[in-house]
Amino acid sequence: MNYCALKNCDVANGPGMRISLFVSGCTNHCPGCFQPETWNFDYGEPFTEETEEEVLRLLDHSYIDGLTLLGGDPMEPSNQRALMPLLRKIRSRLPGKTIWCYTGFLLDEELLREGSHPRCEVTDEMLCCLDVLVDGRFQEELKDIRLNFKGSANQRIIDLPKSLESGQVVTLTF
């Protein structure tokens, strides 16, 4: 997996002070995407063990609330596989940190549906590591800069643990 940016003090992509990892690779190609260069899976730098340790080091401060995964799309199967070792380490070493993930894929229609493109052998484990999933493709005609933590009105901010437990999408409002 490649990544294009690692931001160490992000306040725009989730509540509080966050570390944000922008991964490369996205097959959604949403018109109006603010980072179309990240559609290319080869864009940016390789995500190495050193990068993973840097993310963990940056997260290990009391003023950092958690990690946000963006892209590209972290829920592309190859990105899921590459991110799982990091997510396991965060859950083990830093259990108080929240993990947010932005994806163009819908939780109930794509990520949980057998046989869909984004679903792979680590999808269920990855979803269980996440606290919040912001899902849905960016829709330029529904863009509203007044929305908190999402780019277009169709996107949902999902409480993932509650949704997985209940079997129904539980959204959050900010």
The residues near 161 (Cβ < 8 Å, ≥ 6 apart) are 131
CB-based contact 59:11 (threshold 8 Å) = no
Confidence at residue 43, expressed as pLDDT on a 0 to 100 scale: 98
pLDDT tens, residue by residue, 134-165: 999 999 999 999 999 999 999 999 999 999 99
Report the C-alpha dihedral over residues 125, 130, 132, 134, rounded to 10 degrees.
-60
Among the listed residues 1, 73, 86, the one whose alpha carbon sits nearest the alpha carbon of residue 43: 1
Q: Which amino acid is at 63?
A: Y
* Three-state secondary structure call for residue 94: coil
* Three-state secondary structure call for residue 52: helix
Element (H, E) at 20: strand 18-23
The C-alpha angle 1, 132, 165, rounded to 5 degrees, equals 115
CB-based contact 172:158 (threshold 8 Å) = yes
CB-based contact 169:107 (threshold 8 Å) = yes
pLDDT tens, residue by residue, 29-80: 999 998 999 999 999 999 999 999 999 999 999 999 999 999 999 999 999 9
CB-based contact 38:1 (threshold 8 Å) = no
pLDDT, the chain, mean? 97
* Three-state secondary structure call for residue 12: coil
CB-based contact 26:32 (threshold 8 Å) = no
CB-based contact 103:69 (threshold 8 Å) = no
Confidence at residue 34, expressed as pLDDT on a 0 to 100 scale: 85
Is pLDDT above 90 for 6?
Answer: yes
Q: Which amino acid is at 93?
A: R
Confidence at residue 94, expressed as pLDDT on a 0 to 100 scale: 98
